[in-house]
Structure 1
Amino acid sequence: MSKIKFIIIFLAIGLCSCATINIDKIETDENMSNIDIELFMNIDKLAIDFIELEEIEGDELKSYSIKENYDFDCDGKKDLVNFLIKFRGSRLNKSVLQINDSFIEYEFHNPYEIYVIDLDTKDKFVEFTIHDDGPSGDSSFTFFRYTGKKILLLGQVTGYPKLDGNGHMITSSANFVSPAIIFEIAEVTGSNIIYTVIDHTKYLNKEYKVCYDFNAYFKEYDTIPKNFMPAYDIEETLIAKDSIIKIKHIELEGSVPCWYEVELDDGINGILYFWLGD
């Protein structure tokens, strides 16, 4: 039997009061000063419901069975949900997601929770997303929508996106500094998630305040070597809250930051980076 835990239920008026992103303005605003990342919420804060995946007894390989009722297409009738979620090591490891008579197959790596969420309160749908921890700590959220006739795969977002409840997401950002640096945004348009990459060069050679204490990898360099590759066999360094760092370069893989060339508040120059998974 699945385990259900209610997190927060938002009234529609509450969701609509959240800040929205003007996509056109984001692409043209040089300073990005109109975006306050704190006005966007993590998925667990915007969730209508949360389903914790529970392993089927007697199954030596990890799989989960979920049977619940939700009104995903907002027609006033409960939709019958029957999900069989499988770990990547399971035999025939494609998961089967069925709502009423419609089903879709999808292959996950290490799924462990499902959120029922209203991505855009202006449309007539309630979506669900499955959180997958990936093969080695590579977190992602895969979003689905039931239209009343079929289940649609909207798309997958890596990392931990922030949402505004009005169809917009911040899908890649550095929020350990203030002001936050935004690398990519997304908008739910029709039955797709459309991504927009932000020109990050406007953030360079500026000073930022560190928002909180954190540990990260740091290697001191006067000059950054060509073809630098992060190494994880060194001790992490404490970066203190309220310290000032100057960000000189950001190395991206797609829209994901791999490392930062920074100057610490004591004048030491080097490369700052985090564990990104395998």
Structure 2
Amino acid sequence: MDNNMLVKKIFLAYIIGLILLTGCASREYLTSTKTNQKIKSEAQTKIQNISDIETWQQTDNIDLDGDEIKDKILFKCQPGSNDFTLKVNNVSTSGKGENLDGNFVIVNIDKTDKFNEIAISESGPSSDEQTAFYCYDGQELIFMGKVQGSSNSIKILGDGKVIANKRGQILQTWFYEEPYNLSKLHKLEKIPQDLYKMNSKVKMK
């Protein structure tokens, strides 16, 4: 066998080996890519599932507008989020709060009218509790206003007033009652007061 023939065979063997190595590498790359895509897809699915599980959701069925037909109420928010969605029948609205409590309560501010109201409380950044009120008139959700205090500390006796639990900042941190009336448009209007009780004990010397 002459040298030229030997060189050709060696070169041909080299080319064949190179092709085989390239093919193996390609298959390994494709396998690795598919595996990574599968892992990424599974991770995204897990994240979505966690998000679904952690959604706070509350429902109720009660007549809100006095037509003697129960309205379907849905409240949703995410833990740690400041946004929520409130839906009554086919009408929905979005709202904001800080450190939402994750639920709502049904209240009757004025027993002489036909409405029941929805109260949504939030804890705030540092126990600065507030509560937002909504009314459903059969066609739309009406934001009535937001007052200080939680649904547990606010007083609602059914006489058309809401007594908020207001934080005072004069001299010290203290709380006092701040009354609101229902307006003709079913909005909460603050009733001005000349004096506010501090309810703090003092010692005279």
Q: TM-score normalised to the size of structure 1?
A: 0.46
Aligned structure 1 segments of 4 or more residues deviating by more than 2 angstroms: 57-63, 169-174, 181-184
1:102 aligns to 2:91 (yes or no): yes
Give per-residue Cα distances to partners, 1:133-178, cap 9 Å, x unaligned.
Answer: 112211111111111101111011102322221111222579xxxx
1:169 aligns to 2:158 (yes or no): no
1:198 aligns to 2:193 (yes or no): yes
- In structure 2, give the amino acid aligned to 1:152: I
Q: How does 1:103-182 map to 2 (within 5 A)?
A: 103-112=92-101, 113-159=103-149, 160-172=153-165
Greater fraction helix? 2
Give the 3-state SS of the residue equivalent to 1:130 in structure 2: strand
- In structure 1, give the amino acid aligned to 2:67: D
Give the 3-state SS of the residue equivalent to 1:97 in structure 2: strand
Q: Who is 1:78 aligned against?
A: 70
1: CA distance, partners of 2:178 / 2:127: 21
1: CA distance, partners of 2:182 / 2:78: 27
1:171/1:105 CA distance change after superposition, 3 Å: same
Residue 117 of structure 1: CA displacement? 0.8
Contact 2:104/2:118, CA 8 A, preserved across alignment = yes
2: CA distance, partners of 1:68 / 1:173: 29
1:62/1:107 CA distance change after superposition, 3 Å: farther
Gaps of 5+ in 2: 1-48, 168-174
Higher relative contact order (CA 8 A, sep 6+): 1
1:69/1:193 CA distance change after superposition, 3 Å: same
1: CA distance, partners of 2:99 / 2:166: 24
Residue 60 of structure 1: CA displacement? 8.3
Residue 74 of structure 1: CA displacement? 1.7
1:173/1:155 CA distance change after superposition, 3 Å: closer
1:170/1:83 CA distance change after superposition, 3 Å: closer
Superposition CA RMSD, Å: 2.9
Greater fraction strand? 1
- In structure 2, give the amino acid aligned to 1:197: P
- In structure 2, give the amino acid aligned to 1:114: F
2: CA distance, partners of 1:108 / 1:62: 18
Q: How does 1:219-258 map to 2 (within 5 A)?
A: 245=201
2: CA distance, partners of 1:76 / 1:183: 34
1:188 aligns to 2:182 (yes or no): yes
Residue 184 of structure 1: CA displacement? 3.0
Residue 67 of structure 1: CA displacement? 2.8
Identity across the alignment (%) = 24
Q: Who is 1:12 aligned against?
A: none
1:107/1:172 CA distance change after superposition, 3 Å: closer
Q: Who is 2:61 aligned against?
A: 69
Q: How many residues align?
A: 145
